Each structure stands twice: as C-alpha cells, then as structure tokens.
A and B are shown apart, each in its own frame.
Chain A
Amino acid sequence: MKAFKNPLLIFILPALVILIFIITFPLAFNVYISFTIWDLRFRGATPQFIGVENYIKAIQDSRLINSLSKTFYLLCVAVPAEFLFGLLLAWFFYEPFKGRRILSAIILFPLALSEAVVGLIWGLFLVPTYGPVDYFMRVLGLWKMLGYEKPISLTMTYPMEMIILADIWQWTPFFFLVLLAGLASVPSELLEAAEIDGATKAKILRYVMLPAIKPVIGVICAIRIMDVFKTFGIPYVMTKGGPGFASEVVSLYIFNQALQFLNIAYAATLTMIVIILISIILTLFIRLFGIRF
C-alpha cells in the first residue's frame, strides 16, 4: 500500500509496461503456437489448435533426445573447464606483474568475437589440407605418431570435442574476468589472518577466497548454463550439426525445425521444453551449491 502511494512509481510505469510487453508477449505467443499446427508454406494458412500433440511428438522424437544429449555433453565438459581455466588465470593474474594489463586485454579478445566468427576461425584452423593444425601435424609427423595412416579431419572425426574446444576458447575469458574481480573483492583482513595462521597460497585460495566468492561463482555458472542451451553459432558454422547428427545441439535442431523445415509450431514446442529444462537445471544447481542471492 505504501508503495502504491509512492508517486515515483508513476514515472517508471511506462517503461515497466513496455518491458513487460517485450518479455511476456513473445513468450505468451510462443506458448500459444506450441499447441497448434501452422503450415506457413501455404497462402492464408493460420494456426490450428491441436492440443498437446506437439508435446507428445516431442517426447517421442529421437532427434530431440540426441540434440539434448549433445547439449548436455557440451554443458558438462565446457562449463567446468571454462571455470577451471578461468580460475587458474584469475589466480595467476591476482598478483600484479609487469605487462599484466596488456596480457589481460589479449586474453579477453575471444570474448569480443561473435560465435559465428569463433566457429569460422576454429573451422579454418582445423581443416585438413588447408589449415595450420594439419600442416604442423604433418610436418612434425604427429599423425603417424598418433596412429593415423593419413591425416584426418578432426572436426569431422571429433565434432563435439572440437566445438567444446572452440567454446572453451571463447568463454574462459568471461570466467577469468569475473573471477578476477571476485578475488580482488575479498577483504584483505581475511587473507592477512590466514597468512598469519600459516596458510599457504593454495590453502588461502581454497579455504578463504573461494568460499568468499561463492555467490559470484554461482551467478556466472548459472549464466553459462543458460548460455550453453543457446549455443548456435559455433556448431552451425563448424559442422552444421554433422556429420550425421553428431553435433546437432538443441538450438541448432530448433533452428532447423523453425527456419529450414518451416515447422514453426513444433519449434515453439521444443523451445518450451528447453525453457522448462533450463529452469529445472538452474533450480537444482542453486540448491545443490547452496547459493543464495
């Protein structure tokens, strides 16, 4: 009641209304068409209500199950790796040294690139016959050393692994940046007290610094978990989800359904399923790690 008497609310009301409209209208529309069938190929076609048929189809869709498994693989390998490398880098950069700022800027460079550009760089990097990786592998005799009679295409042989590498390259700087800021914000009294008590640097990191920045870690991991479900540019440019279905992550599958196959309503259904999954995973993550915001 007190809040409604606050005249300032009147001033932010227009912006609030627009924000709510921008967020909720697309979501509401998406929910609506997920219960329809809508063939955009034909002139005059309108959505036809079909109840939960799309959801039943999705549950039985082996290609959806496959795409979710690829996405979970990416999530379970890439995010922990990005956290680990980001933390190591942050810890290394925690103490000042000469050239720290320039080196930091260089490390942050991949974060400035779009996913499509990252996919292109790594695709060209790894392509046999033309790419530098293959060149050095051949010149140094590494293919034979690894047991391959002739050079292989790493992207086509290990597509998810190469996508994960590209993803780690792009997003480790994000963890580095945020964790470095987090470590820098730990009160110096805590660190001094630990030093006085004889703790080593590693123990200080593990028992003092990391617990102090737990909420920060929780937030960035949560952001990355949501991001992974949106990963599209890297797999699209590098492999288009192939060979076969080997790297078709869920966002790529939804893209194919919506924009290549024009199954807009079914794509909306898949989107809803992914939203529900992300919500469940985030809730479990927050509870498991006892993160409080």
Chain B
Amino acid sequence: MSSKFSIIEEKGRKKLSRRTALSTGVKVAIGAVVAGVVAGIGGYYAGSVTAPVREVTRTVTSTVERPAAATTITQTVTRTVTVGAPPVGVEITLACDAGHNYLPWFDPDEAPEGGHYGQNQAPKIEEALGIKITGEEVDPGTEFAIYMADLTGPGRYNIIVYFPTYNGDILGGGWAIPLDPFIEKYKVNVDDLPPVYRYLYCSWGGKMYALPYDGDFHALYYRKDVFADPEIRSKFKDKYGRDLEPPKTYDEYLQVAEFFTGWDWDKDGEDEYGTIEDFKDLTWGIFFDRFASLGGLWFDEEMNPLVPNNAAIKALEDLVKITDYMPPGYLEFGALEVFDCMTKGITALTLTWPDVGPRAGSGEFPVKGDQVGTALVPGYIVNGQLLRYSWTGVGRVMIITVNTPEEKREAAFRVIKWMYDTSAFWVPSGLNGEDPFAYSHTGRGALPHWRRANPAWSEEGILDYMKAAEENFAHGYPDLYLPGAAQYTDVLSRYIMMAARKEISSKEAIERTVEEWRRITKDLGEERQKKLWKEQIVEYKRAGIWPK
C-alpha cells in the first residue's frame, strides 16, 4: 500500500530526476559547443599546417592598357603566385558605395560587351597580385556617418571610396595616408589628371592623398537630332533672330529652354519641356555652376561666405527663372529622374552629370546615343570674357585609411593603382555611375573601350562626348571641401529650394545662407576653419582657379 510518504518520496525522486536531467543536458550542450569551437579552430590550423604548401611559379600575364592620346601602351606583367595554400598574402578590406558604383570592383554580370564590359576588377587583382579584396557596400546617403564611425572606431576599412565633399573632414582630419611616396615609387602618371581632380579631389595642403575613382562634372546635353531639324531651326530663328545652337551663356540657355517648353517637338503625342536639373539630391551644385561662372567663391581668404554676394543672388535668380521651363515635379527629381528626362524624350536640354551620354549610348533607353549631343556648360560674360565653369562636385576618390597597418599599406596602394591603371576599361560604361577623370579617358586610345561598353553609340557620337567631357573637366570647379561641408551645403540647398518655390526672394535666400554660414563657421571654430580653408586655397592656386 502506498503511503503519502512514499508518494512524497516518489515525487521527490521525480523532482531530482528532472533537475538532474536538466543539469546534465546543459552540461552536454555547453560541452558540445566548446568541443565544436575547439575542433573548428584546430581544423583550421591543421588544414593550414598539414596541407602541403606548393609554391608554384606561375606567369600571370595581364594586359594593362594605358591608352594615351595617340597610342595604346600594352604591358605584360609577370608575377609569382603561390597556389595550393590558404592565402598567406594580404587581405584588404574595401568600402564603396552600394549598387552600380560597386560594379568596377565586383560585377557578377561582367561581359565582353555592353554596360558590364570592363567591370569586376577585384578577382583580377587577386589573381594577378595575390591580394584578396573583401568588399563592403555602403549606402551612399549615409556613407559619411558610416565611414566616420569606422575611422574613429574599429578601423576595419583599409580602402574607402567616398565623395571628395568629405575631404575637409577626412583628409583635413588626418584620416588618410599621403600617397606621394608610393606614387613616386610606382611612377604613377598623375599628369594624366586634369588639375581640378589632381589638386582638389585628391590633394590636401600640398600632398596627394587619393587617386580618383569617378570624375564627376556637369555638362550640357541637348537633343542633337531635334536641334538639326530644319523646321525647328527655322521656327527658332524666326522667334529669336539667331541660329539654334547649344547655348553658350545662361541667357541663351533660358531662351532655348523657353522655346522647347509646352509643345510636342518630337511628335510623340505629348508636350515636352525645355530643360531639367537635379534639384533634389545636390541642389547646391546647380547653383554653383552659375555662381562660379560669375566669378563666385565659396569663401574668400577671410572666410566671408559666397563672395561676391550680388553674384550669388544673380546666380540664384537665374536658377529660379529656368524652373518655369522644367517638367512638373522638378523639385523631386534626383539624378536618375534627370537622366530619364533626356533619355525618355521629356526635355530637350539638361545640365547634369556625365552619365547621360553613356546611358544613351548603352541603347537601353528610347533616346539613343547619337540623338544626344554633349557640350560645355554655359557661362556668363564677366569683364568682357566668357567665363564657363563646370561644377565637379560629388565624384569619388580612393584613399588608404590611417588605420591600415603599415605592412598592408603598400598592398592597398597596389590595389588602388590597379583600379587607376585599368580605369579606361571600366569608366566608359553607362551602367556603373563612374565618369571620366583622366585625359586618357577622352583620348582616341580609349575609343575601343567606349565602343565596346556602348554598342548603340556611333564612333562620331562617342568622340563628340569625349571632346565635351574633356572641355568640361578642364573647366572644372570644385565643391566645398572643408570640415562641416555637409552643414554648409545643407543650409544652402534648403534656402535654394525655398527660393525655387518662391517662398522667399533670391536675395533673402542668399542673405540667410550667409548668416547661417557665419554661425556654422563660428560653431566649428573660426580659426581652425580659416587655417583649413587656406590649405584648400593652396590646391585652388595649384589648379589655377583661384582669382589672381
């Protein structure tokens, strides 16, 4: 007969059993995890130690073409590569903005022709140089925060590809290593770079810290086929008393935009518009094309903002006037929508990034390569001289971070040098967002690469684009490269938008901007900002664009 004591005893036994079972289970689980980790680590090292290290000398022939103006230089590079063992070579960690700007590094769709021609260089670097690249894609909208968090924190990135807008913070802040010793050692041809990229994108205070990755500039695009239409030309001449040509001044630009607004000049059944510019993403850039062409400066030597102020007001007034000839919703249009306006036949003109030409040339849009002409941006007549400046804001450069260990720095330089040397292959594509930044990109030697990347574009169309590209970056004017650039340009952009919406006058917009800029300078430390601006002026003078 069971008594209550035996029941308690039985229940006690059950309790003990459950507790024991749980305790044993936990011990077994912990033991399994520890064993797994130990086995994993041991296996890794065992594999690396016991596998025979086969050192094989293999001739890796890489044809590196450095197209020059008249000839193509082909180099055969022979290297010794160790195979069979896990990579004992260097591993470099790269950060680059996500999406199409990542294609030159990694492109699973690399192809012998079309937009994916010439991309996917990282595996080639690994094969040729034995340097493994671990890439990380970064959101361009927040890349500044991501990069600064890494630079000031864990320091994982060895190579960063970023917008030179942040030069003031990154180069001025001491976060990149100077490249001059490596440039000297490897005889890198930096004379191939136009002054605005060599001195303003890539240098700070007299030293070179970067190599370019993307050479942004603004260019004027126009519908070549429409401009050549005899009926349209006659109509224009009747109205304005002169021939229809790509505009050379902003007054001509306004006239041409007005002419093409509100009627169906391409006979597709829809009314079209004169022009479009990128208001949404980089508003201050479209202002600065005009302001620089009026002789304007971000700051003078005493850090007085936007001088002369009356030129800034005129530039903004002209920008506001042209909005009457833009499609509805222009304030919401970023770069891609602006490109689409040209390549989908919505506007007759656009003043925007170099991407439009290759995009039309790719053949993937209704308006094809030869229908789009490229020209130097318009300008203003200042002191009897036509002054035309193309804003070279955005762009991208490659730096080696100061957190990169000494023993990896040379390898990192060889990686960015490889990208620089092979840029004539991957820049011509209209799909990757990278644009010409060297004279060799616009010389005849680069023509075969442009043809292969843009099969829908004729040789004549490509040559026309290359000539205009070279003209525009030769007339390049830099973005504001100073710590706090994001703050200055944020304020300027917001007031430009308010003026464009006619909430405030252009005069008020500039006055408020100037007031805010003075406050920002004071907050950031006036003396330090002045010192860093003077270091920038050194590069302006080297580039020949600081007023005498």
Contact = CB atoms under 8 A, between A and B. Distances in A.
Interface stretch (A73-81, A178-186, A241-249): A241-249
Contacts of B486: 260-262
Nearest to B500: A243
B126 interface: no
A43 B497 contact: no
Interface string A132-168: 0010000000000000001111011100000000000
Interface in A218-256: 240-245, 256
A156 B497 CA distance: 10
A134 B329 contact: yes
A242 B328 CA distance: 17
Interface string B73-84: 000000000000
Given A43-B402, A245-B494, A262 B332 contact: no
A127 B332 contact: yes
Interface residues of B, number: 33
Interface in A163-208: none
B150 to A, nearest CB: 12
- Interface residues of chain A: helix, strand, loop or mixed (majority): loop
B169 A262 contact: yes
A245 B174 CA distance: 33
A240 B280 CA distance: 9
Contact of A40 (B152, B332, B490, B497): B152
Given A41-B148, A243-B498, A256 B331 contact: no
| Residue among B152, B329, B495 with the highest chain A CB neighbour number at 10 A | B329
Given A41-B483, A244-B494, A156 B331 contact: yes
A259 interface: yes
A240 B332 CA distance: 10
A130 B338 CA distance: 12
A260 to B, nearest CB: 5
B259 interface: no
Nearest to A238: B332
B487 interface: yes
A128 B494 contact: no
A156 B148 contact: no
A260 B144 contact: yes
Contact of A128 (B142, B332, B483): B332
B148 A244 contact: no
Interface residues of A, number: 30
Interface in A100-141: 123, 127-130, 134
B329 A128 contact: yes
A150 B326 CA distance: 11
Given A42-B174, A244-B497, A260 B487 contact: yes
Contacts of A40: 148, 152
Given A41-B148, A130-B337, A243-B500, A261 B484 contact: yes
A156 B490 contact: no
A90 to B, nearest CB: 36
A152 B490 CA distance: 24
A261 to B, nearest CB: 5
B332 A156 contact: yes
Contacts, number: 83
Given A41-B173, A127-B329, A134-B329, A261 B490 contact: yes
B327 interface: yes
Contact of B173 (A42, A150, A258, A260): A42
Contacts of B328: 128-129, 134, 150-153
| Residue among B328, B486, B494 with the highest chain A CB neighbour number at 10 A | B328
A129 B346 contact: yes
A258 B146 CA distance: 12
Contacts of B175: 43
A254 B420 CA distance: 39
A249 B484 CA distance: 22
A153 B331 contact: yes
B332 A155 contact: yes
Contacts of B337: 130
Nearest to B327: A129
Given A127-B329, A128-B327, A128-B332, A41 B169 contact: yes
Contact of A261 (B142, B152, B487, B503): B487
A129 B329 contact: yes
B14 interface: no
Contacts of B495: 244
B152 A156 contact: no
Contact of B490 (A43, A150, A260): A260
A262 B149 CA distance: 10
Contacts of B237: none
Given A41-B483, A134-B328, A156-B501, A242 B494 contact: yes
| Residue among A128, A155, A244, A259 with the highest chain B CB neighbour number at 10 A | A244
Interface in B455-501: 483-484, 486-487, 490, 493-495, 497-498, 500-501
Contacts of A245: 494
Given A152-B328, A155-B332, A256 B490 contact: yes
Interface in A10-51: 40-43, 45
B138 to A, nearest CB: 13
A41 B173 CA distance: 6
Contact of B501 (A127, A130, A241, A243): A243
B122 to A, nearest CB: 29
B145 interface: yes
Given A128-B328, A129-B346, A130-B337, A259 B142 contact: yes
Interface of A: 40-43, 45, 123, 127-130, 134, 150-153, 155-157, 240-245, 256, 258-262
14 contacts: A41-B148, A45-B152, A128-B332, A129-B328, A130-B329, A130-B337, A151-B329, A157-B501, A242-B494, A243-B331, A259-B142, A260-B144, A260-B145, A260-B487
Given A129-B327, A241-B494, 20 more contacts: A41-B148, A41-B172, A41-B173, A43-B173, A43-B174, A43-B402, A128-B328, A128-B332, A129-B328, A129-B329, A129-B346, A130-B337, A153-B330, A240-B280, A244-B501, A245-B494, A260-B145, A260-B490, A261-B484, A261-B490
Which 4 pairs, one residue from A and one from B, show the smallest C-beta to C-beta distance? A128-B329, A259-B145, A244-B498, A243-B497
